[in-house]
Amino acid sequence: MKTVAICPYYHTATPDPRRVREAFSSHELLKEVEHYYAQHAVSLDNNRSIARPNVGTSYQCSFWNDQLDASPADIERLNRELEETLLSVLAEVGLSLRSRTGT
């Protein structure tokens, strides 16, 4: 079996506090938006997860002077901000946020 190396594209953006507030006036936590995509994805079998682009958001504690607790309120705040950021990125690039199956 021959192993083929697939070089991915990787892009990341970490907005500073001013940019975060410009985009989301209610957000305080710093986040990173990441995008991965296999360089030669067109030639890959669609059933392979690497053939599809991946996008995600993550909390950037290294840029945050305060500390989040593991309290339910802080966890909810983090989840809300990450979800709003991800949905905003997907909407901005024109991806449908509705499921293709069902209603």
Look at residue 31 and tell me if it is in a domain: yes
- DSSP for the chain reads ------PEEEEEE---HHHHHHH-TT--S-EEEEEEEETTGGGS-TTSGGGS-EEEEEE-GGG-SS---SSHHHHHHHHHHHHHHHHHHHHHTT---S-SS--
Looking at residue 42, its pLDDT comes to 63
- Residues of the chain with pLDDT > 90, as a percent, come to 11
The domain tally of the chain equals: 1
97 lies in a domain? Answer: no
The answer to the question of residue 98 being in a domain is: no
Quick one: average pLDDT of 35-55?
Answer: 69
Is there a domain that residue 73 lies in? yes
> 99 lies in a domain?
no
**Which domain, by its residues, includes 84?**
8-92
Mean pLDDT across the chain: 78
Q: Would 51 be classed as within a structural domain?
A: yes
